[in-house]
Amino acid sequence: MRLAPRTTSLLLIGLTALAVAAPGMAGDVSHRDPHFQNHHPRRDQVLDRTQMQNRRITRQVREGELSHAQARNLRYRDATIAHRQQVLAHKNGGYITKQQQANLNKRLNANSKRIGH
């Protein structure tokens, strides 16, 4: 099944928003595991970068530097990075290690180069 470009864009934006907001919605996890960190500094740093990159993508689409298809692809990449961060945090009791943060940042750096300035 092929979705219309607008539907695909809205779906990806929604998934990105969910991936970014999901750590904040994990409050029920903290009741089960007292060591789960909803807002660990390394997690926040990675998620802040994904949000910043999403704003850059939006600005560049508005300015005509990126097509909607390129923006969709870039947002999808950032959403997968945010999701990976969430999975790692869940496995580690609510935080990500310094090495995991470095790996996620490496992926974010690669996507940032695709976005441009």
pLDDT band at 48 (very low <50, low <70, confident <90, very high): very high
CA distances for 67 relative to 6, 21, 22, 103, 116, angstroms: 13, 26, 28, 28, 13
pLDDT at 36 over 70: no
Q: Record the pTM.
A: 0.67
| 43 located within any domain | yes
Helix ranges restricted to H, the chain: 5-21, 27-32, 41-62, 68-91, 98-115
The more confidently predicted of residues 47 and 16 is: 47
Domain limits at 48?
5-9+38-115
Report the chain's mean pLDDT, rounded to a whole number: 81
Residue whose pair of structure tokens reads 């864009």 in the numeric block: 9
| 29 located within any domain | no
Domain count, the chain: 1
